[in-house]
Amino acid sequence: SYVLTQPPSVSVAPGKTARLTCEGNNIVFKSVHWYQQKPGQAPGLVIYYDNDRPSGIPERFSGSNSGNTATLTVARVEAGDEADYYCQVWDSSSDHVVFGGGTKLTVL
Amino acid sequence: EVQLVDSGGGLVHPGGSLRISCAASGFTFSTYWMHWVRQAPGKGLVWVSRIDSDGGSTNYADSVRGRFTISRDNAKKTLYLQMDSLRAEDTAVYYCARSMADSAMFPFDHWGQGVLVTVSS
């Protein structure tokens, strides 16, 4: 089965740029979606199809996908961005949805 | 406004059964694929199951296949997850989620608030 690997935690100072990675075998050939989950809340979509933003998501959030790594970039990080972030793909070979283990973004 | 409201969670003994529901409103429920995703306490998101728009096609994670059954009633705009032979490791918050369009390859653009299912003696 397809596996997505995310670092457990990333820390960044306010106003700086956070880069959250998601590794998977030839992930470049898959569409990657990213979700933000704050404590006690359901997840919410922040990036889909590698680099599209749903309405209402700030332009500070962007994504990229190349080789074996997809990246969610959060520019000019704010305290309110502190959350868990999950990458997700659809594995066509098994017709299963796969989530990464999640990264906790801490704003210092 | 799109709304998904999960209900039916609770405490169940190992080996027992439970059915959880997800009531949809604010969109044409019968045209969207739907999913269940779970999250064990303090852990990450795990996909559980999906169903196509008319209920004719389903799929399951290996960990629940043969024990869980996803279904939907489009007239009632409700998604269900029947969970049998429950195990302690099934303890989690269960979320229903909507695919953005009619395929599993699309992202989940709306989520329910989640219900807690606790399997314990």
Q: What is chain B written as a DSSP string? A: --EEEEE--EEE-TT--EEEEEEEESS-GGGS-EEEEEE-TTS-EEEEEEE-TTSS-EEE-TTTTTTEEEEEETTTTEEEEEE-S--GGG-EEEEEEEESSSSTTS-EEEE---EEEEE--
What's the pLDDT tens digit per position in A21-76?
999 999 999 999 999 999 999 999 999 999 999 999 999 999 999 999 999 999 99
Q: Please answer whether residues B109 and A45 qualify as being in contact, where contact means their C-beta atoms are separated by less than 8 angstroms.
A: yes
Nearest to A98 among B47, B100, B108 (CB): B47
Task: Please report the pLDDT score of residue A26 as a whole number.
Answer: 97
Task: Please report the pLDDT score of residue B104 as a whole number.
Answer: 79
Residues in chain B: 121
What's the pLDDT tens digit per position in A2-27?
999 999 999 999 999 999 999 999 99
Q: Does B42 touch chain A (CB under 8 A)?
A: no
What is the distance in angstroms between the Cα of B17 and the nearest Cα belonging to chain A?
A: 24
Q: Does B44 touch chain A (CB under 8 A)?
A: yes
What is the distance in angstroms between the Cα of A29 and the nearest Cα belonging to chain B?
A: 13
How far apart, in Å, are the Cα atoms of B61 and each of A79, A83, A90, B41? 35, 26, 13, 19
Look up residue A92 and give its two tokens.
Answer: 């066509």
Nearest to A45 among B50, B59, B109 (CB): B109
Task: Please report the pLDDT score of residue B2 as a whole number.
Answer: 97
Per-residue pLDDT of chain B (121 residues; tens, 9 = 90+): 999 999 999 999 999 999 999 999 999 999 999 999 999 999 999 999 999 999 999 999 999 999 999 999 999 999 999 999 999 999 999 999 999 988 878 999 999 999 999 999 9
DSSP class of residue A100? -
